Structure 1
Amino acid sequence: MLRQSSLVVVANRLPLDDNVAPDGACEWRRSPGGLAGALHAILEQTPATWVGWAGGTGQARDLPDIGTLRLRPVPLSEEELRGYYEGFANSTLWPLYHDAVEQPVFDREWWLAYRAVNRRFAEAAAEVAEPGATVWVQDYHLQLVPQLLRELRPDVRIGFFLHVPFPPPELFMQLPRRVELLRGMLGADLVGFQRPQAAHNVAQLAAKLLGAHGADDAIILDDRVVRTGAFPVSIDVAEMRTLNARPYVVNQAHQLRHDLGAHKRVLLSVDRLDYTKGIEHRLTAYSELLRDGRIKVRDTVMVQVAVPSREQVESYRGLRDRIEREVGRINGEYGRVGEPAIHYLNQPFDRADLAALYQTADVMVVTPLRDGMNLVAKEFVAARRDDSGALVLSEFAGAAAELSDAFLVNPHDVDGLKETLLQALAAAPEDLATRMKAMRDHITSHDIHAWARAYLTALEQSQALVP
């Protein structure tokens, strides 16, 4: 018998670890700054159903619950995976939504796959939602789902949250299927973004493409009101605090500091391996500082964690090869026996090891070329229990609007990035403590629970609006 839920989360991936236990049990999948990590604290003890792809291709198998969370897998064929996920979602929408850092590719066959898979997700959500349920659709992979679901289940309350940036109108207008994508997203009762500018961009496009009326916070379309607004996503600060206090994490941080060199200043970056993260610009800046003798391998080391991502997409494979060559060149030119200039790790990291790395770093370097939020920056701040350490943060990460006490930088400006790195390395402990405390106070009062309350409260109130 089909079980239904009053809260349904719809996202591209189920929050599953790729390694299923021998007894068939599933574990929650966590990755640095990922969607599953953001929603973990909310859904850990809240009865809900998560609709998503379980990985792999072919028929979806039944999955056991994770605590109070039911799992409803959506199957994908190999062809759909290439067209919907690797194609339209990650080779068309992803680069376009990130300021076309990489040139988007428009392929008509990809669109057909994207539309078909979005319909399948909408149908699955319609099946598991109780009458009058709340359905919360996540991110750009499923931008058509809100409208498709509204047609299937007009009784449910529908929320949509875009975790990535929404592009300016002149970029969005390049999309061949711009009207369908915009209307699909605006099928929700509440559309949430990381930053207010995104809501403004959508209001402009709704007026231009759909003849809608209204303002940045409420769009009147098809005789109903679609609320829009900024709800900056955050982290579970309490969980990070508990993790930091674990004996394993404390001991691992001490061991890492010893292994890297107790006397050395450690620069740390933790990213998904993605061309939007600015890894190549960062390596260039670090290499030039070494070349010019402004930092030396005997007293400074960089640790670059690049978590594998979208390895079937050609542009990502090319990026990995370029980064590995550049790391090899830098270590070959500037490293010494037993002392590499850069420790490069292209592998997944669990939460405890990441927390130990956060405690080890003197300077956290988070310099994406464009990012919806960047939760790694917030995790680092939460991990600094003693108010030490510096955060170098891109102006083009959504987190920069909240973490204004970081050392903000334009990552496209390599010379400016070099100077900012040196400034962070040379900052007085008192200055660092003042900055870190202000940032930690902010994320403590604006944690993941505050984000969820703000969004879900606004969603609950949205259906009371009338045009």
Structure 2
Amino acid sequence: MNTVKTGTHDFVVVANRLPVDRVTLEDGTAAWRTSPGGLVSALHPLMQASTGAWVGWHGAENEVLEPFHEDSIDLVPVPLSSADVRLYYEGFSNSTLWPLYHDVIVPPEFHRTWWVAYREVNARFARAAAGTAAPGATVWVHDYQLQLVPKMLRDLRPDLTIGYFDHIPFPSTDLFAQLPWRSRILEGLLGADLIGFQRASDTANFLTSVKRFLGLTPRKGEVRRPGSGRSSRAQTHPISIDAAKIADLAASPAVQDRARQIREELGNPETVLLGVDRLDYTKGIRHRLKAYAELLEDRALSVGQACLLQIASPSREKVDSYQQLREEVEGTVGRINGEYDSLAHTAVRYLHHSYPTEEMVALYLAADVMLVTPLRDGMNLVAKEYVQARFDGGGRLVLSEFAGAADQLGSAVIVNPHDIDGLKASILEAVNMEPTEAKRRLVSMRRNVQDHDVARWSRHFLTSLQETQDDDASPHAGGPGATGTPGRGAR
């Protein structure tokens, strides 16, 4: 008999982080501020419309907080110790799973102590969610840090409707085979009624791994567990952005003034090329810098005529591979500028900072060519933000075929970033593109982004999750209603 204490929330989101950041006000007191990001924007209205709660870590190590209410959402903090952060987050999540799921650009490490910590922290998140959700509630689990939570939660609360969304790629079967705990991960994910992925190839990789390592045969994306009376479905649900917010900011006179100021600060070059990335080895920053340096060396571009503005926001600075990447990128930028800078102009303006959304939109408006060239990426929302911001039709997008966004933004200049000669040619194609052709491509891409924004993504996922319950007619049927709005299921 299920003895887990139930909660009162009809809709529960479970993610590694809560959707708030702790800030210090001018008077010195601490407060919480809603985090920027598409996921928060998409789910906030749903939580307000139902009795919603968000389960996640609040960002501080070795601190236990009671549940609290902020910006119309009930927040349930899950504590993490310094050891948890080191072993579960920096270790298994970001030094085992992240490189494995991103085509082994950096070799993954497999340590049993990391796995033990990952399993224990996932169990902690599952217990917190189980104690928060009302009978028959919908629980939506997010991302690779919590892949064991769906099954753990299913074991604790079989009455729940459970969805899971994977924000990063899912690896090919041959790569996934390296993971010693591959079957446990797959079983964890199959605890969900619906498992969502960014690209059709990710969905196919997952289903192939289920067949190979669990011996289960999926049929039309559905995996049935013999004797369990239930099934799980894997579907493709590409995430998007808050298109209306980006459009509103791009239309703001203050943001437009800031865009003009940015170009002036760069010396008013003919062409501003922009890269905006987390400082991560998956983002292809080194390949981009190499291609740009060779264009300067070939005199296909010249300093003053062109300037590359590279934003690289800090990321996982305690992980060795990220420390090494930062040294390599900053060393490369220094060599390029040392060779090609003039007194009046710089070749590469490199900024190792994070910026608020308003500043990002100003950067998009200032850039003639956006370079989004990851070696592997689940989606890459920067590409969609740039397209949406350029209401004037003047921007050009160079986009890696290995980013999920390439499936939706096919009118971009699509490139294989491993091919440096091809990357150089693509950059020149974008720089020299006729304005009418650039506008035609941009209009097509903007229409796609506007028609498939983040609110539609969340609605479609939750509607699909409800359909799994309707079709199965299972005892734990419940969750979002016909319109995708979460609510209590049948008791």
Q: TM-score range by the shorter chain?
A: over 0.9
- Residues 101-155 of structure 1 deviation map (CA, whole Å, 9 limit, x = unaligned): 1101000100000000000000000011111111000000000000000000111
Cα distance change on mapping 1:36 and 1:317 into 2, 3 Å: farther
In the TM superposition, 1:371-390 aligns within 5 A as: 371-390=377-396
Q: Offset of 1:339 from its aligned partner?
A: 1.4
Q: Offset of 1:430 from its aligned partner?
A: 0.1
Q: Offset of 1:359 from its aligned partner?
A: 0.5
* Match status 1:110 vs 2:114: yes
Contact 2:99 2:108 in 1 (8 A): yes
> 90, 100, 103: which one pairs with 1:86?
90
Task: Quote the sequence identity (%).
Answer: 49
> 170, 173, 182: which one pairs with 2:174?
170
Q: Offset of 1:200 from its aligned partner?
A: 1.6
- Residues 46-81 of structure 1 deviation map (CA, whole Å, 9 limit, x = unaligned): 642111111121132236423221111111111111
Task: Report SS of the residue matched to 1:323.
Answer: helix
> 254, 260, 265: which one pairs with 2:260?
254
Equivalent in the alignment of 1:334: 340
* Match status 1:155 vs 2:134: no
For 2:155, give the aligned amino acid. E
Cα distance change on mapping 1:41 and 1:132 into 2, 3 Å: closer
Q: Show structure 1 runs of 4+ deviating over 4 A.
A: 34-47
* Match status 1:219 vs 2:223: yes
> 288, 299, 302: which one pairs with 1:296?
302
* Match status 1:186 vs 2:196: no
In the TM superposition, 1:25-36 aligns within 5 A as: 25-30=31-36, 35-36=39-40
> 307, 324, 333: which one pairs with 2:330?
324
Q: Offset of 1:301 from its aligned partner?
A: 0.2
Cα distance change on mapping 1:263 and 1:88 into 2, 3 Å: closer
Q: Offset of 1:226 from its aligned partner?
A: 0.5
For 2:467, give the aligned amino acid. Q
Task: Report SS of the residue matched to 1:301.
Answer: strand
Q: Which moved more, 1:53-62 or 1:450-459?
A: 53-62
- Residues 353-391 of structure 1 deviation map (CA, whole Å, 9 limit, x = unaligned): 001000000000000000000000000001001111100
In the TM superposition, 1:23-62 aligns within 5 A as: 23-30=29-36, 35-36=39-40, 39=43, 43=47, 47-62=51-66
Task: Report SS of the residue matched to 1:191.
Answer: strand
CA separation in 2, counterparts of 1:218 and 1:281? 39
Q: Offset of 1:199 from its aligned partner?
A: 1.7
- TM-score when scaled to structure 1? 0.96
Task: Report SS of the residue matched to 2:223.
Answer: strand
Equivalent in the alignment of 2:135: 131
Contact 1:9 1:51 in 2 (8 A): yes
CA separation in 2, counterparts of 1:154 and 1:253? 53
Equivalent in the alignment of 2:21: 17
Unaligned runs of 5+ residues in structure 1 are none
CA separation in 2, counterparts of 1:43 and 1:356? 31
Q: Which moved more, 1:199-208 or 1:139-148?
A: 199-208
* Match status 1:119 vs 2:123: yes
Task: Report SS of the residue matched to 2:466.
Answer: helix
- Residues 296-353 of structure 1 deviation map (CA, whole Å, 9 limit, x = unaligned): 0021001000010111111001101110111111111101114111111101100100
CA separation in 2, counterparts of 1:26 and 1:46? 22
For 1:187, give the aligned amino acid. G
CA separation in 1, counterparts of 2:48 and 2:120? 31
Contact 2:399 2:406 in 1 (8 A): yes
Task: Report SS of the residue matched to 1:87.
Answer: helix
Q: Offset of 1:243 from its aligned partner?
A: 1.5
For 1:433, give the aligned amino acid. K
Cα distance change on mapping 1:428 and 1:43 into 2, 3 Å: farther
* Match status 1:452 vs 2:484: no
Cα distance change on mapping 1:204 and 1:223 into 2, 3 Å: farther
Q: Offset of 1:27 from its aligned partner?
A: 0.9
CA separation in 2, counterparts of 1:5 and 1:321? 47
Cα distance change on mapping 1:245 and 1:46 into 2, 3 Å: farther
Equivalent in the alignment of 2:431: 425
For 2:428, give the aligned amino acid. L
CA separation in 2, counterparts of 1:45 and 1:314? 43
Equivalent in the alignment of 2:321: 315
Task: Report SS of the residue matched to 1:340.
Answer: coil
Contact 1:38 1:233 in 2 (8 A): no
CA separation in 2, counterparts of 1:254 and 1:426? 21
> 356, 359, 382: which one pairs with 1:353?
359
Task: Report SS of the residue matched to 2:21.
Answer: coil
Q: Which moved more, 1:212-221 or 1:164-173?
A: 212-221
Q: Offset of 1:264 from its aligned partner?
A: 2.3
Contact 1:20 1:27 in 2 (8 A): no
For 1:71, give the aligned amino acid. L
Contact 2:9 2:134 in 1 (8 A): yes
Q: Offset of 1:445 from its aligned partner?
A: 0.6
Task: Report SS of the residue matched to 1:26.
Answer: strand
Equivalent in the alignment of 1:268: 274
For 2:376, give the aligned amino acid. R
For 1:88, give the aligned amino acid. F
Give the aligned length. 465
For 1:301, give the aligned amino acid. C
Q: Offset of 1:185 from its aligned partner?
A: 0.6
Contact 1:9 1:135 in 2 (8 A): yes
CA RMSD of aligned residues (A): 1.8
Cα distance change on mapping 1:44 and 1:332 into 2, 3 Å: farther
Unaligned runs of 5+ residues in structure 2 are 475-491
- TM-score when scaled to structure 2? 0.91
Equivalent in the alignment of 1:236: 242
CA separation in 2, counterparts of 1:374 and 1:46? 30
CA separation in 1, counterparts of 2:132 and 2:68? 15
Equivalent in the alignment of 1:96: 100
